[in-house]
């Protein structure tokens, strides 16, 4: 025997089964419509699950429905430009590339790379003489950045040296990080080799530390002036030493600047040094920095100029002695015959002009040497010909 409760459960299960079969299109009468609904449900279900196939993302032409695909986090980061893989390489994309497009690329000043390479070679020699130690200087990268963003990115504590380019009448900035400061102090004061420089937190830099760093900055400024010497003679004068970036403001925060990051290694010690030059500082020599190579200066070739000058001195020219000039009618010129005489208004004491072509060169006196008429040069012709 079965209880009434069991009968009710059987009825409910039968009703659910019938309803499920109806939704899946199990009835023979609505086979065509059920098949279309089943395809629509399957397409929507795969779209909701997030299928990566192109078929699920495309529109269903049979049913007229269009499904949308949700972007994942990696695609959103790529769209906005937050790519962690290429962030260290300096590559920007998406919205970040659009926002940073206002900055001028340092590659538009190709000669500046040559100047910085020359600076690295000069500093390697001068710092070895300055510290009496094995010093290796390397150029990490050259970047273009806004001045305000650079000040906010300086890791503190650090020393900021402000210098002035005398001939360009503008300023630049040298940032020395704490690792290099303590390494220089340790090397100059006879620190033991093989031990890392000790860093003491929570106190300002002492007078001795500031003095030693200032001496190193003077050495670098001298090398920087020598690096620019082939392009344009310039004198970099040390102005002041700051520890607060707010007091080292030499340009507007929105102005663009060039930053060259240098790495200085002294065996097991060392640190980083950054050189900042605003574009306003480099503006007087911008035309020179746009060159692709050093010999491109003003489109001249000194070797060819020297060769041409030497050949010009060996050129033979014809000199003509002009005794007198007269203006005659054309009819009288045609009437001239063999034996006709033209009377000059020049006496033997009057000066004679020597010229090459139409250019007067010298003045002299007419005389005779043997059987030939000669001219004795007395001076140069002062009046230049009209162009």
- The CATH code of the domain that includes 214 is 3.40.1550.10
Are 211 and 356 found together in one domain? no
| Whole-number pLDDT of residue 162 | 92
Are 149 and 284 found together in one domain? yes
Q: What is the total count of domains within the chain?
A: 2
Residue of 331, 326, 323, 318 whose CA lies nearest to 358: 318
Are 223 and 273 found together in one domain? yes
Whether 251 shows a pLDDT value over 60: the answer reads yes
Are 177 and 220 found together in one domain? yes
Residues facing residue 171 across a β-bridge: 164
In a domain, 82, yes or no: no
164's tokens: 């002035």
Are 370 and 281 found together in one domain? no
Tokens 């300096």 label which residue?
Answer: 90
Range of the domain at 281: 106-299
| pTM > 0.75 | no
In a domain, 150, yes or no: yes
Are 176 and 281 found together in one domain? yes
Are 137 and 246 found together in one domain? yes
In a domain, 73, yes or no: no
Alpha-carbon span 359 to 319, nearest angstrom: 10
Alpha-carbon span 145 to 106, nearest angstrom: 10
| Whole-number pLDDT of residue 76 | 77
Are 285 and 174 found together in one domain? yes
Cis peptide before 142, with omega less than 30 degrees from 0?
no
Are 293 and 374 found together in one domain? no
Which one is predicted more confidently, 225 or 92? 225
User: Residues 93-146: pLDDT tens digits?
Assistant: 556 655 554 444 554 777 888 889 999 999 999 988 888 888 889 888 888 888
Are 209 and 340 found together in one domain? no
User: Residues 56-106: pLDDT tens digits?
Assistant: 444 444 444 555 777 787 777 777 666 555 554 455 555 665 555 444 455
Whether 355 shows a pLDDT value over 70: the answer reads yes
| Whole-number pLDDT of residue 364 | 86
- Phi then psi for 175, rounded to 5 degrees? -110, 125
In a domain, 77, yes or no: no
Are 364 and 283 found together in one domain? no
Query: In sequence order, which ranges of the chain are alpha helices (DSSP H)?
Result: 4-23, 31-49, 54-57, 73-80, 94-99, 110-131, 147-153, 178-188, 207-228, 279-282, 286-289, 302-313, 330-334
| Whole-number pLDDT of residue 143 | 86
Are 153 and 224 found together in one domain? yes
């Amino acid at each position: 025997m079965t209880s009434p409760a069991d009968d009710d459960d059987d009825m409910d299960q039968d009703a659910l089964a019938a309803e499920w079969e109806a939704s899946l299109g199990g009835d023979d009468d609505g086979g065509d419509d059920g098949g279309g609904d089943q395809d629509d449900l399957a397409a929507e279900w795969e779209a909701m699950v997030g299928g990566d196939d192109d078929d699920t993302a495309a529109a269903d032409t049979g049913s007229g429905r269009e499904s949308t695909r949700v972007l994942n986090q990696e695609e959103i980061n790529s769209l906005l430009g937050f790519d962690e893989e290429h962030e260290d390489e300096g590559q920007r994309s998406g919205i970040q590339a659009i926002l940073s497009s206002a900055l001028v690329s340092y590659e538009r000043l190709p000669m500046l790379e040559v100047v910085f390479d020359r600076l690295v070679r000069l500093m390697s020699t001068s710092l070895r003489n300055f510290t009496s130690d094995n010093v290796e200087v390397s150029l990490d990268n050259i970047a273009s950045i806004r001045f305000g963003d650079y000040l906010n990115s300086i890791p503190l504590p650090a020393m900021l040296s402000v210098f002035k380019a005398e001939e360009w009448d503008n300023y630049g900035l040298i940032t020395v990080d704490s690792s290099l400061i303590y390494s220089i102090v340790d090397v100059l004061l006879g620190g033991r080799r093989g031990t890392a420089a000790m860093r003491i937190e929570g106190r300002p830099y002492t007078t001795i530390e500031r003095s030693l760093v200032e001496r190193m900055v003077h050495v670098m400024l001298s090398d920087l002036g020598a690096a620019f010497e082939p392009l344009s003679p310039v004198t970099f004068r040390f102005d002041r030493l700051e520890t607060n970036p707010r007091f080292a403001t030499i340009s507007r925060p929105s102005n663009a600047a060039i930053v060259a990051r240098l790495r200085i290694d002294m065996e097991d010690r060392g640190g980083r040094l950054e050189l900042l030059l605003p574009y306003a500082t480099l503006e007087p020599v911008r035309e020179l920095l746009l060159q692709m190579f050093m010999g491109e200066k003003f489109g001249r070739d000194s070797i060819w100029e020297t060769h041409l000058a030497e050949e010009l001195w060996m050129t033979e020219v014809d000199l003509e002695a002009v005794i007198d000039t007269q203006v005659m009618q054309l009819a009288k010129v045609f009437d001239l015959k063999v034996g006709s005489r033209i009377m000059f208004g020049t006496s033997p004491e009057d000066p004679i002009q020597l010229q090459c072509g139409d250019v007067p060169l010298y003045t002299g006196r007419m005389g005779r040497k043997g059987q030939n008429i000669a001219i004795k040069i007395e001076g140069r012709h002062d009046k230049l010909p009209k162009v």
